[in-house]
Amino acid sequence: MSSFEVFGLGSNIPALNINKNTRFKAEKRKYRVSFYTKTGINPNNPDAEMVALTPVKRLYHPSVGYFVDHGTEYQKLSKDGKSGKQYIAVTVCLWPVNAQNGQLDQSRLASGEYEVKNWVMGLDKFNQLTSINSEYPLIEHDLKIDCTEVQFQKMNFSPCRDSVLRKLKTDKESMYKEIMQIVEGVFEKQPQDLARDLTLDQIREKISGEVSSPLGNSSSFSSDSNFDDLLDNVLDKD
């Protein structure tokens, strides 16, 4: 069974917008983000556009970092020996805003200033997004994020009335296409930003301090579902 599965959540661009650090970690400030969307996620409605996200159950060990929970033998090698916790990754465009009030800075956007990151979250934040998405679909609405505490990434969320990415698609198609090339590249890194998919031997080697291959079960990024059913699917895997 695949460890990483993609689900659906119901102007020149500088090359520096994509780099090795693709994981979003908020500072104490306000943000505005658009979500990466795809069609073909829901097999029952392949034309439907949905926010693409990846859930996985992961474990942690200081000598290994985060790794995929494949069952009891993997759990025994984790720091606490318990079952892994569920985390979800989404790919977002972070638009240039006033860090104090979250208002979009049009001139900075026009000059090509933005970032693309994978946002990894636990079920608490995911449940909040689920609630917002039910009333303000996140394929059509941006999300304002107010990070109030950095260490534990405490945040408040509120929906925007529109989506910057969707506006660019209709108003500035060439800029939109260039942005999407970067977005799709970052999206492909969702699995590695969530957890490493390692074998038991590789984990044991890292814990013992021996050198191990960086490759795990690399073919672990496929399968589809509807966002409305995702939370149930995630919880069913616990």
CB 175 within 8 A of CB 13: yes
Structure tokens given for 107: 């001139």
Task: Give the contacts of 154 (CB within 8 A, at least 6 positions apart).
Answer: 147, 148
Range 7-198: architecture per CATH? Alpha-Beta Complex (3.90)
Helix, strand, or coil (residue 91)? strand
**Given pLDDT bands bounded at 50, 70 and 90, which one contains residue 7?**
low
Q: What angle do CA 179, 183, 187 make, to 5 degrees?
A: 175
CB 37 within 8 A of CB 184: no
Least confident of 136-140, 210-214, 233-237: 233-237
What share of the chain in percent tops pLDDT 90? Answer: 71
Does the pLDDT at position 216 exceed 80? no
Which H, E and C letters describe 166-235, residue by residue? HHHHHHCHHHHHHHHHHHHHHHCCHHHHHCECCCHHHHHHHHHCCCCCCCCCCCCCCCCCCHHHHHHHHH
Q: Is 161 exposed, middle or buried (0-12, 13-18, 19+ CB in 10 A)?
A: exposed
> 171-178: long-range contacts (C-beta < 8 A, 24 or more apart)?
172/11, 174/11, 175/11, 175/13, 175/112, 178/11, 178/12, 178/13
What tens digit of pLDDT does each residue of 132-168 get?
999 999 999 999 999 999 999 999 999 999 999 999 9
pLDDT at 238: 38
Q: Is the pTM of this model over 0.85?
A: no
What tens digit of pLDDT does each residue of 156-204 get?
999 999 999 999 999 999 999 999 999 999 999 999 999 999 999 999 9
- Alpha-carbon radius of gyration of the chain: 18
77 Cα distance to chain centroid: 26
Structure tokens given for 138: 């996140």
Residue type, 89: A
Structure tokens given for 217: 């079960």
Domain chopping of the chain, boundaries: 7-198
Structure tokens given for 134: 């039910």
